[in-house]
Amino acid sequence: MNQVTLQPATVQAIQDFHAIWRQDPAAQYDLSLTLTISSQNISLWNLNCLPLTDITSQIYPPKPIDMEAFSDNILTEEPEVDQIPSSTSVEEDTETEVYQKVRDELTQTLTPQSQSHPNPFIGGTWKDQLTKILKRLVDKGHNIVKLKRKLEKDLSPLYLHLLSSVKNSSIQGLTWKNPLANQIIKDDASFIKSLRNNSNTKGLYETFMKPIRQMKPTLPLSVENVCREFVSNFSDSNYSGFSEKLIHDGTWKESENKILSVVNEIFKTMEDIWNNSALNFEVAGVLNEGTYQSTVIVPFIRAVLKNLPFRFLFISTSERESIASADRKGDSKVGRRPDIMFMVKHLDVLFEIMYVECSRLVCTSQKKVDDDIKLWRECNDGMYYTRKTLHPDKDQFGIVGIQIAEDILHLNVLIRDKTNVNRYYNIESAKIPVQKSDETIVIKFVETLLLLRNIIITNLSLLYNGPVCIAERQKEDSTTVNSE
């Protein structure tokens, strides 16, 4: 007997079929029952008798199988398989092509295969496995058939080209990642690009692109002019900070007019938030943490910290790894990832001077406790990391920690006292006006945000005026206990 080789796809198909055949009642009822497959026939045999049944006609019926009716006869629950439409010339061509490929696979010269493949249909009952197989067989090819039917409805040159291109596409090479297998024609498909690059078919390309062209009106000349003016008139603000060193002495560090300007920025943000339908009473309770941060917390922080009189400041909102935490852990370990950080670059060092931990609008008591612990640990790391490079004034400079627990903002700060003991304080807590609120809530919230701005301005001045830590003996060890 000549040595034969099965193609991997055939081996996989046989493995999948065998797993289902072993669970078929016919096979379980009579262990001597044998199923034989040749290039012409498929039969059921008994080892001690003549052939019992030639089932070729069951496998290759004279007309297309109604998959939905077939599934109803086998499964107690209807599998999620689209019904195959009645026969058309397009479908018959497709089925003939598929049958020919199956026959070629079964009648080829075979050789043993050493590579094994996992069975994607294992799991559940035999009915579940059959449903998966039918679904896999139908989806891709059926989508192409339906796509061809849709394209056949229009006899214009563009649709004739699209239909011809789809017909000439290889179904076998398509996967779920291919738009065509999902009945989607992308503008970067090869048969669309060919229209654009050919002078004879460029008109067809313009017809195909017409819907998107209609979505792009011409930009008014006045808008172009103001953009040019903005670029030409822009000058990088020279923020040099305050001319004198600031300290925390119970005073506001900016003029009243400047403070009112900041309040107006807060009100603009508040107005947008109050008009946001995602924050109404019916939806607010199910908002996830990320949406709450991006639609409420971050906009308020940006508004209150806008146009600070210093340079090289930025807000990190993507759970960036804390440099201070990673430095404290050492050994290339991953640092903590605060929800939000406020950072400043000074002396080529990135200092983390504010951390924010945020919950959802509705959260558990344990989440509040966990975030509180995480926050003061982050602030402790921030103080340790700052004092590795600079020694800002004790009892003055602090690392800010903001905890958002549901709709309450807790403003905290960690400072180093004169005896080198770190102290953690809650400065203020205020209800966040996520929806339209009364004036007392708004006043308290605005006051808390202005306190945050005033503290940050003072801390930045203290940081910039802090003496550089040069001697190794001046450097301190972290007091944060590892949680691992």
DSSP code per residue over 193-254: HHHHH-TTTHHHHHHHHHHHHTT-PPPPHHHHHHHHHHHHH---------SS----SSS-SS
The H-assigned helical ranges of 281-346 are 281-284, 289-292, 298-304, 323-329
Confidence at residue 244, expressed as pLDDT on a 0 to 100 scale: 83
Confidence at residue 352, expressed as pLDDT on a 0 to 100 scale: 95
Tally of CB atoms within 10 A around 46:
12
Confidence at residue 70, expressed as pLDDT on a 0 to 100 scale: 45
Confidence at residue 79, expressed as pLDDT on a 0 to 100 scale: 41
What is the rounded distance in angstroms from the CA atom of residue 384 to the CA atom of residue 351? 11
23 neighbors 128 (Cβ within 8 angstroms): no
Confidence at residue 247, expressed as pLDDT on a 0 to 100 scale: 95
Q: Which two tokens stand for residue 67?
A: 């998959």
Binning the chain into helix, strand and coil, the percentages to the nearest 5 are: 45, 15, 40
10-residue stretch averages of pLDDT, the chain, 484 residues long: 68 74 67 67 62 59 50 42 45 58 60 58 70 61 86 93 89 81 91 90 93 92 94 73 84 95 96 86 73 93 91 85 84 81 92 95 93 94 92 95 96 95 96 94 97 96 90 69 70
Burial class (CB in 10 A: 0-12, 13-18, 19+), 348: exposed
Confidence at residue 374, expressed as pLDDT on a 0 to 100 scale: 94
What is the rounded distance in angstroms from the CA atom of residue 442 to the CA atom of residue 430? 9
Confidence at residue 9, expressed as pLDDT on a 0 to 100 scale: 72
Confidence at residue 413, expressed as pLDDT on a 0 to 100 scale: 97
Dihedral sign (CA 245, 387, 320, 374):
negative
Q: Which two tokens stand for residue 360?
A: 């959802």
Q: Which two tokens stand for residue 159?
A: 């649709």
Confidence at residue 278, expressed as pLDDT on a 0 to 100 scale: 77
What is the rounded distance in angstroms from the CA atom of residue 153 to the CA atom of residue 167? 15
Q: Pairing state of beta strands 349-358 and 398-405?
A: parallel
Confidence at residue 211, expressed as pLDDT on a 0 to 100 scale: 93
Confidence at residue 49, expressed as pLDDT on a 0 to 100 scale: 53
Among 435, 421, 420, 376, smallest CA distance to 401 is for: 376
| Cα-trace Rg, the chain | 35
